[in-house]
Amino acid sequence: MDFFQRQDNARRKTSLLVLLFVIAVLLVVVAVNGAIFVIFKFSNSYEFDTAQWWLGAPAAYTALGTLLVIIAGSLTCYIKLGSGGVAVAKMAGAERVDLNSRSSEIRTYINVVEEMSIAAGLPVPEIFIMPQELAINAFVAGYTPADTVVVITQGALVTLSRDELQGVIGHEFSHILHADTLINLRLMALLAGILFVGDIGQFLMRSSSRGRHSSRRSKEEGGMLLLGLALAIIGYVGVFMGRLIKAAVSRQREFLADASSVQFTRNPEGIAGALFTIDQHTSSSYLTHTIQAESMNHMCFGETVKIGFSKLLASHPPIRERIDALGGSMFARVRSKNRNKQQPAPVNEQTKTSADLPKEAKGFASGSSTSASPVTNKKNVNELPPISYVSPVKKNAGANTSSFKTATGEVSVEDVDHARLLLQRLPEEVHQLTHTPSGAALIIICLIAKENNLSEKEITSVYNQSGFNFPPVGTITTIFALTERIDNQLRMPVLELCSPTLKTLDTKQRETLIFSLFSLAKSDGKISLFEFLCLSFLELQLPAKVRKPKIRQTYKLHELSDELDTILTLIYQAGVPHQDEAAAKTILEDSIHRLCGGKSQQPLTSKRNTREVSAAFNKLRDLSPLLKPAVLDAATDLILADNVITTKEYDVLRVIASCLDCPMPALMIRK
């Protein structure tokens, strides 16, 4: 099953989830009706018989009230989860990791996440830690890859080795690739409504209990206490049904995620060792410092709460079964390997000391910024120049294309090794600067300024317009010199490293930064291909609000014929300087005809402006998962017209894949 089929199956699972939820809601409604009927029947408060209750207005009103309570609970949770993965992390009591920490454990954690992200072609997620949790656990959460966060416990950070941590992170990234994170959030919101019934019951019990101490117990108070007790019991029944649903949705995919982690790392002992350590750890994987442990159970690496009847209700298979599934003798191997392993004492606080930066760039360690309004006239920015194309790298810098078209959503150990090499090639000073908002912003400004040959004064002005304080004297020159060492193949990975840092800016700061970058890009009267791709990528990764997948999707490609025409023509024009123009033109026309059933509506030589291409990107995001491979295949065929993939061509494809929420591993260029 390929990536796109898994995404489509994940969306279909939502239908199964809704069906199970509806069944659970009906059972809760019947149970609430039964509880209230019994209380009223035996309290002699009202005179009615069974038929009058169940077939009349009382049962209908009770059912309506119960449904409203469940809907209110689910809707409240859904609103709380509006910011996607960050909302879940905060609900769990997690804190953002200081990306400039000198702690060796934190540095390892950051490096593993960045390597895995670049290898998988996924946006680098925001990185969190649960500092009070001494158990070993982790989770990822988010509606789309762009708003995903990765979270681990303090116990996992200080207890696991690098190989074990990489195995856990590989497992969690598998959930992103399989679109499990979307299902997890929807499941969390739906089940919150059922649990809300039990919360109301507990509230009524506490209220009645307080009433007994302040006044004489009356029949009404007794009835309220019984009603609260009944609703609390029904709430526990709701928990039981919620666990059943979680088990039905989650259990088998944990085996798949474990297997995928082995595929990513080629080291089964890594994740097996982590599972064995959980089995032997004094705190296991149970979360004790968050009230969300129950609701998050299905999205974590291991069980977050102790569950009775675990064979029926657990969201995860038993640890021994998970280890054995990785290899017949794996449990014995990891037990032997870990026999003499010492458990390090857990630490409750992160080391939050900034790493050393270049002398002239120390002012960026804090990442401080101020909100500033753009001084450039918006009307001028909206005068959109055409996208210009610069000749790409030479043909002898092409890539091996044999398995390129099947790379989407797949991660190999070679991809992980290549990502590690890319990060090693990146100047360490630049890597450190990507970890602060001010440093990340200045790196991107300098990359765009290189395209326009701007002076230090002009760069400083744009930087200040972006909402940041004036940098120390000499900083611009130093960082601009550092960006000169970033070759074309490293520019997209650098943008990916900058994106999670820039996500910490508030909405106004993000908009101001992108606005200033757009002004900078068009300062020479045109927008280069890299400038456009850079701005498009940042707009995708730094939206004003979290983009949730639409329920209604586009299922017919011809409905987006103009948008597909625009995107494919963009790729054609980017590759023409080094391709066989006639062959590329033939492939373009065939692709448009195959996808849309017609011919291009615009001359192939006409330049597309940024507004047209951005609008096309936004429309393509709503494609059904099963239609996305046809678009990527057409784009890839066009790029491979001469059997060569250049860095610039790959960057175009990478942004298109990001628009479609499709992971695209980093390209391995032959030197």
Taking only the tens place, the pLDDT of each residue in 272-286 is 999 999 988 767 889
Active site residue 172: yes
Q: Biggest alpha carbon distance in the chain?
A: 94
Q: Which of 343, 321, 326 is nearest to 269 (CA)?
A: 326
pLDDT cut 70: percent of the chain above it: 74
Amino acid residing at 277: T
Give the Cα separation of 339 and 556 in Å (integer): 58
Residue 270 has pLDDT above 80, yes or no: yes
Q: How far is CA 301 from the centre of its chain?
A: 16
Distances (CA, A) of 531 to 37, 172, 268, 657: 68, 33, 42, 17
Residue 641 has pLDDT above 60, yes or no: yes
User: Which of the given ranges, 408-417, 456-465, 591-600, has the highest pLDDT on average?
Assistant: 456-465
What are the start-end ranges of the E strands in 45-165? 95-96, 126-130, 138-141, 149-153
Residue 141, pLDDT score: 95
Span 339-350, average pLDDT: 50
Q: How far is CA 390 from the centre of its chain?
A: 33
Span 23-29, average pLDDT: 85
Taking only the tens place, the pLDDT of each residue in 558-604 is 777 788 888 887 777 776 554 556 666 777 777 777 777 666 555 55
Q: Coil, strand or helix: which one is 151?
A: strand
Of residues 322 and 474, more confidently modeled: 322
Token pair 């990502």 in the structure block, residue:
419
Give the phi and the psi of residue 634 in degrees, each rounded to 5: -65, -40
Span 409-436, average pLDDT: 84
Residue-averaged pLDDT of the chain: 77
Q: Looking at 105, 115, 164, 172, which residue is catalytic? A: 172
Which residues, in sequence order, are CB contacts of 95 under 8 Å at separation 6+?
128, 129, 130, 131, 350
Q: How many helices (H) and strands (E) does the chain have?
A: 27, 6
Q: Which of 206-220, 293-307, 406-420, 629-643 has the lowest mean pLDDT?
A: 206-220
Residue 39, pLDDT score: 74
Q: Which of 324-338, 345-359, 617-631, 653-667 has the lowest mean pLDDT?
A: 345-359
Give the phi and the psi of residue 387 in degrees, each rounded to 5: -80, 130
Contact 445, 466 (CB under 8 A): yes
Task: Using pLDDT thresholds of 50, 70 and 90, give the confidence band for residue 87.
Answer: very high
Residue 212, pLDDT score: 47
The model's pTM: 0.80
Helices (H), 122-179: 154-159, 162-177
Q: Which of 216-220, 445-449, 554-558 has the lowest mean pLDDT?
A: 216-220
Residue 389, pLDDT score: 40
Residue 230 has pLDDT above 80, yes or no: no
Give the Cα separation of 113 and 269 in Å (integer): 19
- For residue 388, the surrounding DSSP H or E stretch is strand 387-388
Taking only the tens place, the pLDDT of each residue in 49-76 is 777 777 778 888 888 988 888 888 889 9
